[in-house]
Amino acid sequence: MSEFDIGKHCSYDECSRLDFLPFTCDVCANIFCKDHEKPAEHKCTKLPKAVTLDVSTLQPPPKYECTFLNCHKSELVPVKCSACFEQFCLNHRSQEDHKCEAKFAKKDVKKLIVLQSFPKSSFKAYFKGAKSEKLAAKVQVMKLKQKAVGRNDIPQEHRIYFSIQYILDGRVIKTSEVFVSYHWKVGKMLDYCCDNMNIVNKNNVNCDEKLKLCSAKSGVVYSANEEIKILLENEKLFNGSNIVITNVPTHVTQVEFSAE
């Protein structure tokens, strides 16, 4: 009488036990006892190998840096102003907190329209001195941001925008829109503008006149050693100002232009 073919031996090499209710592995299709039915228990050779990630090749998540002056915070998601389209941190996301130039510029344009309906004497009285230049610069800076050129290594939050005219013998020879770093000195800004506008700069040669940066509004001549940041803080210069490059006698501190 033949023996009954009952049960199966466990396929796990370290076991081989006869099991009357064996299990078939869904991964490798081999037979195992109840103690080794799971793939991990019988060290299933058909399981996909774990993927090892090289952490050194992983890219950090992008950071969106706040463009507000002297703020070094960043966010993991874009936080852009709907008026000026600049990136800000959560602390400066509102237009009031980042002193939105686009918002205030629109208000200033409305002021201009209203004031122009008054007599010229009232209009001139309102637009006088630094107040006039500051207001005009604020309105202009948003336009300059659309077309100004500058060095790509200058962070957005450090960029100051200017409209530049090169005047020679009373005539406007060249114009350009640029941005520079507020950490720069006037001399470095002059060198950059000359390179950008292909202006021959012979300031290193001893002569009675030298190329200078001047305010198109007041005619004030800026010294090469003055820091742009300090000029901005003292309101001797504004973000969005019109600047003239021209030859000035070395002893002169203020010039006059026939037209702005």
Q: What is the pLDDT of residues 203-230, one digit of tens each?
A: 888 788 899 999 988 889 999 999 999 9
Strands annotated E in the chain: 8-9, 18-19, 23-24, 31-32, 64-65, 74-75, 159-168, 171-181, 209-215, 221-222, 242-249
Same domain? For 80 and 169 the reply is no
Domain count for the chain: 3
Task: Kindly give, in sequence order, each residue whose CB lies less than 8 Å from that of residue 13, ignoring residues fewer than 6 positions away.
Answer: none
Residue 111 has pLDDT above 70, yes or no: no
Burial class (CB in 10 A: 0-12, 13-18, 19+), 178: buried
Instruction: Indicate the helix (H) or strand (E) that contains 103.
Output: helix 101-115
Same domain? For 130 and 154 the reply is no
Same domain? For 225 and 148 the reply is yes
User: Would residue 120 count as lying in a domain?
Assistant: yes
The string of DSSP letters for 178-190 reads EEEETTSBHHHHH
Same domain? For 202 and 174 the reply is yes
Same domain? For 71 and 25 the reply is no
Residue 260 pLDDT grade (very low, low, confident, very high; cuts 50, 70, 90): very low
Same domain? For 91 and 127 the reply is yes
Q: Mean per-residue pLDDT for 5-19?
A: 84
State the CATH number of the domain containing residue 188. 3.10.20.90
Rounded-to-10 torsion of CA 132, 138, 168, 179 = 160
Same domain? For 222 and 131 the reply is no
Residue 8 or 257, more confident: 8
The 3-state secondary structure of 211-231 reads EEEEECCCCEEECCCCEHHHH
Query: Rounded mean pLDDT of the chain?
Result: 81
Burial class (CB in 10 A: 0-12, 13-18, 19+), 134: middle
User: Would residue 259 count as lying in a domain?
Assistant: no
What's the pLDDT tens digit per position in 55-65? 666 777 888 88
Q: What b/e sequence results for 16-40 when a residue is b if at least 16 CB atoms lie within 10 Å of its CB, and e otherwise?
A: eeebeebbebeeeebbbbeebbebe
Residue 175 or 135, more confident: 175
User: Would residue 200 count as lying in a domain?
Assistant: yes
Picking from 49, 45, 86, the residue whose alpha carbon sits closest to that of residue 68 is 86
Residue 133 pLDDT grade (very low, low, confident, very high; cuts 50, 70, 90): low
State the CATH number of the domain containing residue 89. 4.10.1110
Token pair, residue 73, equals: 């915070």
Residue 254 or 57, more confident: 254
Residue 184 or 125, more confident: 184
State the CATH number of the domain containing residue 41. 4.10.1110.10
Domain that holds residue 71: 64-105+110-138
Q: Mean per-residue pLDDT for 82-89?
A: 82
pTM (global) more than 0.85: no
Same domain? For 53 and 88 the reply is no
User: Are 87 and 68 within 8 A, CB to CB?
Assistant: no
User: Would residue 17 count as lying in a domain?
Assistant: yes
- Please list the residues that pair with 210 across neighbouring strands: 248
Q: Which amino acid is at 55?
A: V
